[in-house]
Amino acid sequence: MSEKVYIFDTTLRDGEQVPGCKLNATEKLELALKLEALGVDIIEAGFPVSSPGDFDSVSQIAKVIKNATVCGLSRAVQKDIEVAGQALKFAKRSRIHTGIGTSDFHIKSKFNSNREDILGRAIQCVKWARNYTDDVEFYAEDAGRTDNEYLARVVEAVIKAGATVVNIPDTTGYCLPYQYGEKIAYLVNHVPNIDKAILSCHCHNDLGLATANSIAGVISGARQIECTINGLGERAGNTALEEVVMILQSHKDLGFYTNVDAKQLNPLSREVSDIMRMPVQPNKAIVGANAFSHSSGIHQDGFLKDAQTYEIINPEIVGAGESKIVLTARSGRSALAHRFQKIGYQFNRNDIDFLYEKFLQVADRKKEVEESDLQMLAQAYSPALATN
Ligand code: KIV
Ligand code: ZN
């Protein structure tokens, strides 16, 4: 029996914090509806106290979303929590996400405080939030660099105060996957009331490890992943939703599933990229333009014999259309024959041997040989030439 991993999408909050990615209320609402259709379980719609515009966005989203929980972020500040509670008032299912920094960096440098005081503030903010909703998520900011023993005390205390989900953010993207996994395992094994809450992974990508860390967290006992479309988020970004969903789907042996409809991943990735004016890197897993393109002769030949030799995911499953055979100076004869076939030319082995030499001349001049080049080569070709 596989177990569910809850997908908490924070594209509209952590993703929208990225410079240049700011959205207006209409755009946020449009994306929230798409995220709901995608099948995410929780939509973090914004940080209501941060601006009147964000308050309006969160409350509009709260009014229309029916199948997902709508969540609002707050600091461990009574006013923030009150405002989040107001913004979420009309939600069918609401969650307040509140918390405070727990690493010594945060306790000393940010708050000029001490561990006992922060523990008290953590308990207090959860209690305030429980006045507005039964679904309260606590975040221990910079948990990635927080001493495990202290973190376990905080987690136990906030669960006792009423937190139903506890977020263990690797805010600075510092942890290695085994360390993040061990942190989650430590909490599972040392927090006596851990069965009363869900542990959540919120991993940043400063060392390119956000996805790996989130998966390590789930393997160790977390059951929620916080993530964004295209991995958008502060600095180097957050965990990419499309990556964790497809890792869990591809590795069924891990024993987890999500409710996300994978077919929508590529269309939604493009939409988010357009609306946030944030291009997706071509080599990005699952949604990059090259994720299902084959360009070297060795790979193309193997792929054309059996797609599974070089593809672990059928692109149609993630809404990316067909795999592409790209023609470059590194391509081989089978790729060339395949591309000619696609535009209606059935050439035999001799024809291809001849055309391949012509093709290489074009390919050496250009980065990519296009359909128009193939048409030109085919039309200039006379089979009599190949036999001479
Ligand atoms: O990265 C982080 O720690 C956060 C929290 C506010 C959850 O985004
Ligand atoms: Zn974050």
Q: How far apart are CA 355 and CA 350, in angstroms?
A: 9
Residue 383's domain comprises 293-387
| Among 88, 90, 110, 89, CA closest to 99 | 110
Whether residues 167 and 50 fall in one domain: yes
DSSP string for residues in 158-224: HHHHT-SEEEEEETTS---HHHHHHHHHHHHHH-TTGGGSEEEEEEB-TTS-HHHHHHHHHHHT--E
14 lines ligand 1 (CB under 6 A): yes
8 lines ligand 1 (CB under 6 A): no
141 lines ligand 1 (CB under 6 A): yes
Q: Using CA positions, which residue lies closest to atom 7 of ligand 1?
A: 139
DSSP string for residues in 129-162: HHTT-S-EEEEEETGGGS-HHHHHHHHHHHHHHT
Whether residues 354 and 240 fall in one domain: no
Whether residues 330 and 363 fall in one domain: yes
- Residue 337 within any structural domain of the chain: yes
Give me 243's structure tokens: 């990556």
Question: pLDDT value at position 279?
Answer: 97
- ∠ CA 139-144-145 to the nearest 5 degrees? 115
171 lines ligand 1 (CB under 6 A): yes
| Among 294, 295, 200, 289, CA closest to 239 | 200
Whether residues 183 and 122 fall in one domain: yes
Cβ–Cβ under 8 Å, residues 169 and 183? no
Whether residues 55 and 120 fall in one domain: yes
Backbone angles phi, psi at 64, to 5 degrees: -105, -20
- Residue 285 within any structural domain of the chain: no
Tell me, in angstroms, the distance from the centre of ligand 1 to residue 292's CA: 32
Whether residues 338 and 236 fall in one domain: no
Tell me, in angstroms, the distance from the centre of ligand 2 to residue 294's CA: 34
**Where in 239-387 does DSSP place strands (E)?**
256-257, 293-294, 324-325
Amino acid at 99: G
- pLDDT tens sequence for the chain (388 residues): 899 999 999 999 999 999 999 999 999 999 999 999 999 999 999 999 999 999 999 999 999 999 999 999 999 999 999 999 999 999 999 999 999 999 999 999 999 999 999 999 999 999 999 999 999 999 999 999 999 999 999 999 999 999 999 999 999 999 999 999 999 999 999 999 999 999 999 999 999 999 999 999 999 999 999 999 999 999 999 999 999 999 999 999 999 999 999 999 999 999 999 999 999 999 999 999 999 999 999 999 999 999 999 999 999 999 999 999 999 999 999 999 999 999 999 999 999 999 999 999 999 999 999 999 999 999 999 776 665 5
Q: What is the number of the ligand 1 atom nearest to the C-alpha of 238?
A: 1
DSSP string for residues in 277-297: T-PPPTT-TTTSTTTTEE-SH
Q: What is the number of the ligand 1 atom nearest to the C-alpha of 142?
A: 3
167 lines ligand 1 (CB under 6 A): yes
Q: What is the number of the ligand 1 atom nearest to the C-alpha of 14?
A: 8
Continuous segment of H or E residues that includes residue 234:
none
Question: How many Å from the N-terminal Cα to the C-terminal Cα in the chain?
Answer: 65
- Residue 76 within any structural domain of the chain: yes
Tell me, in angstroms, the distance from the centre of ligand 2 to residue 301's CA: 43
Angle between helix 349-365 and helix 333-342 axes, rounded to 10 deg: 100
- Residue 281 within any structural domain of the chain: no
Q: How far apart are CA 23 and CA 59, in angstroms?
A: 15
Cβ–Cβ under 8 Å, residues 367 and 326? no
Q: Where among 248, 275, 302 does a domain terminate?
A: 275
| Among 226, 320, 236, 259, CA closest to 13 | 226
Give me 131's structure tokens: 């006045």
Neighbours of 321 (CB within 10 A): 10
146: CATH: 3.20.20.70
Whether residues 186 and 86 fall in one domain: yes
Tell how far CA 22 is from the center of its chain. Answer: 18
Residue to mutate, 98, 204, 225, ligand 1, most ligand atoms under 8 Å from C-beta: 204
Tell me, in angstroms, the distance from the centre of ligand 1 to residue 58's CA: 18
- Exposure string for 293-311, b = 16+ CB within 10 A, e = fewer: ebbebebbbbbbeeeeebb
Question: pLDDT value at position 229?
Answer: 98
Backbone angles phi, psi at 228, to 5 degrees: -135, 155
- Residue 299 within any structural domain of the chain: yes
> Structurally, how many domains does the chain consist of?
2
Question: pLDDT value at position 1?
Answer: 85
Region of 221 on the Ramachandran plot (φ > 0 left; ψ -120 to 50 alpha; else beta): left
Whether residues 103 and 171 fall in one domain: yes
Tell me, in angstroms, the distance from the centre of ligand 2 to residue 240's CA: 12
47 lines ligand 1 (CB under 6 A): no
- Residue 282 within any structural domain of the chain: no
Q: Using CA positions, which residue lies closest to atom 8 of ligand 1?
A: 14
205 lines ligand 1 (CB under 6 A): no
Question: pLDDT value at position 382?
Answer: 79
Whether residues 258 and 330 fall in one domain: no
- Paired sense of beta strands 6-9 and 42-46, if any: parallel
- Residue 200 within any structural domain of the chain: yes
Q: What is the number of the ligand 1 atom nearest to the C-alpha of 10?
A: 8
Whether residues 331 and 243 fall in one domain: no
Whether residues 211 and 63 fall in one domain: yes
Question: pLDDT value at position 197?
Answer: 98
- Residue 284 within any structural domain of the chain: no
Whether residues 310 and 205 fall in one domain: no
